[in-house]
Structure 1
């Protein structure tokens, strides 16, 4: 059975709580709203079940981690099955003692786990101390698949990446080369509230522009949900992070299909034309003209 040309998608932009049950209830409410309005693919933001806990380093936070399958994955899978949607969620995964991942999970319309992606690029910046918490995803899975492998679902092959991954063109290109039909970037990014307005504007526009660039370079639509709200520093050592929202969906030429504001919790809807990528690639043949014979040095840390 062939797929319909149009796919209605939804990106969830939400605030989060220090109580996991409260945050998950918010996620579920917004997912239900999206499904009731016809969304077939619903994407939640990064670490939507908790506050963004990486502002400091605290071993007690590891208590928030869960195995997969586990309580949160079971809940998200059941929700996908009930609503008949493909659902992309986020879990702080406990893989084994001492090994934790920032993991995106994708559930099929019957609630089964279609696949998962463990964040590959892990930042360690002021206010974003993720290397303390997360082990990088596997570059090669046990079954031989590359870590940048799309997850195949009934709504298409999803190139799921996570937040810091969005700054790396290599990740997007590898997903595209493996047949991804949509690039998806669940995100948690915001401003130091003390930054000047001009600096905040530059950071936001860089974030939007680089992802639109991945859409253009790979002729693929992009879905990028981000959180909103001010989350205080856990130890009161600073003013915290103001998450800048601006969740968006763009088409394969980088054109905005939908964009949220920087303050409001919302369900962002867009309709993706499944045939546009093929049509655009016929007139902008980036993949045909790649000089794969000349790119060997991309595997070096520095070109001497």
Structure 2
């Protein structure tokens, strides 16, 4: 297996017409493959607009099973193009059971598995706890034709524990499909730089490549800022997109993983036996202790 791999990130707008979104994305996947992409990742909930802006039972109608016509079409596409394809979608796992998920198809079109989003946010215009159950697939890695990959979906990408677990299982590239943009309580604030720094830092602390793909454009009352990027094992941004639609094509050399890990031996010097506090829900003191009164 060659140590050099070409990644493709598809950053596009998402309209209200689901079939049109799928057709448009397929065009972009084909374009990325023509440009040499071997592993292609789509944005979070790739074929539907972001439902978390509001709370409505109608949002559940957007979900589909893992063997839906859309997903079968994507698997066939991966096999026809000879690419590994990461397809994030709104999963209906049963009656009234919904996950924010991503399916992985290998370069022969075979289904490798599903990652379900573990960390579910809740905040103004990000009402995801209404729509998604916390994931129950753990943190799987996938041995694909072009390398071993791990996936964290949007809010998962902010948690360093996710990246570390995926790295310990052999992931060489972390993919983070996202849907992040405006903050309604702070319209003057753009979190793009914080988002970029937090995710690329996982590459440093774990010595691997990171590929984050975000959606872009206006959807109802939210604007998504794009900014999809690939960073190397020392956290340097190799290439990024702006706030317009685009396809990012970036070749990486997995030999850089060896160099970074030999230079910064974080995995060697871990002390997991001292990390017990990480397994406690209440990490902060639960009781305030006041000093005894001073008698005069």
Q: Please say whether Structure 1 and Structure 2 have the same fold, judged by a TM-score greater than 0.5.
A: yes
Pairwise mapping of residues 163-242 of structure 1 onto structure 2 (< 5 A)?
163-192=154-183, 195-197=186-188, 199-200=189-190, 203-232=191-220, 240-242=221-223
Partner of 1:298: 278
**Where do 5+ consecutive residues of structure 1 fail to align?**
142-146, 233-239
TM-score of the superposition, structure 2-length normalised? 0.93
Partner of 1:235: none
Shift of the 22–60 alpha-carbon distance from structure 1 to 2, 3 Å rule, reads same
1:151 aligns with 2:142: yes
Shift of 1:130: 0.6
TM-score of the superposition, structure 1-length normalised? 0.91
Where in structure 1 do 4 or more consecutive aligned residues deviate above 2 Å?
192-197
Partner of 1:254: 235
Give distance in 1, aligned partners of 2:187 and 2:88: 31
- Which protein shows a greater Rg? 2
1:192 touches 1:242 (CA, 8 Å); kept in 2? no
Give distance in 2, aligned partners of 1:194 and 1:241: 12
Partner of 1:58: 56
Shift of the 270–35 alpha-carbon distance from structure 1 to 2, 3 Å rule, reads same
Give the RMSD, CA atoms, in angstroms. 1.2
Q: State the number of aligned residues.
A: 284
**Where do 5+ consecutive residues of structure 2 fail to align?**
286-296
Partner of 2:290: none
Shift of 1:61: 1.7
Shift of 1:302: 2.5
1:11 touches 1:43 (CA, 8 Å); kept in 2? yes
Partner of 2:80: 82
Give distance in 2, aligned partners of 1:80 and 1:299: 39
